[in-house]
């Protein structure tokens, strides 16, 4: 059931899903944090190579979108939009995360 027990729903303006440059998305969380999941050309994921293989960014995004990706580059942002140090090292952005790792990161970010 949503919202989680003891939590309140954020204002609608704070809960926008966003598409980031046609190559990923940002997921807003009820606590004001957000998780960025990127899997397009130039991101540290399976599709990284498409940017160098394509003539232009639009073509690279088309190729990457058609093929999908087995992994993604992720980050957590605090309510002010600043990057958060991730729980598995002194990094703020982690590449090549598989879907299970992305879900674990989301669960961690929800707990902040």
Q: Give the N- to C-terminal CA distance of the chain in Å, as an integer.
A: 19
Q: What integer is the mean pLDDT of 76-98?
A: 93
Distance CA 102, CA 34 (A): 13
Q: How far apart are CA 46 and CA 72, in angstroms?
A: 7
**pLDDT one-digit tens code per residue, 81-91:** 999 999 987 89
Q: How many domains does the chain have?
A: 1
Span 9-41, pLDDT tens digits: 555 445 566 777 778 899 999 899 999 999 988
Q: Are 73 and 95 in contact (CB under 8 A)?
A: yes
pLDDT grade for 54, boundaries at 50, 70 and 90? low
Residue 57 tokens, joined: 């960014």
Q: Which domain holds residue 54?
A: 14-110
Single pTM value for the model: 0.78
């Amino acid at each position: 059931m949503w919202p989680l027990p003891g939590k309140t729903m954020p204002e609608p303006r704070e809960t926008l899903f966003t598409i980031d440059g046609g190559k990923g998305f940002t997921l807003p969380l009820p606590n004001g944090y957000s998780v960025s999941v990127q899997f397009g050309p130039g991101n540290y994921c399976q599709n990284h190579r498409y940017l160098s293989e394509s003539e232009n960014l639009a073509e690279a995004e088309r190729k990457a979108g058609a093929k999908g990706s087995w992994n993604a580059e992720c980050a957590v942002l605090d309510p002010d939009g600043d990057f958060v140090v991730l729980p598995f090292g002194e990094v703020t952005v982690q590449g090549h995360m598989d879907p299970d790792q992305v879900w674990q990161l989301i669960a961690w970010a929800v707990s902040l």
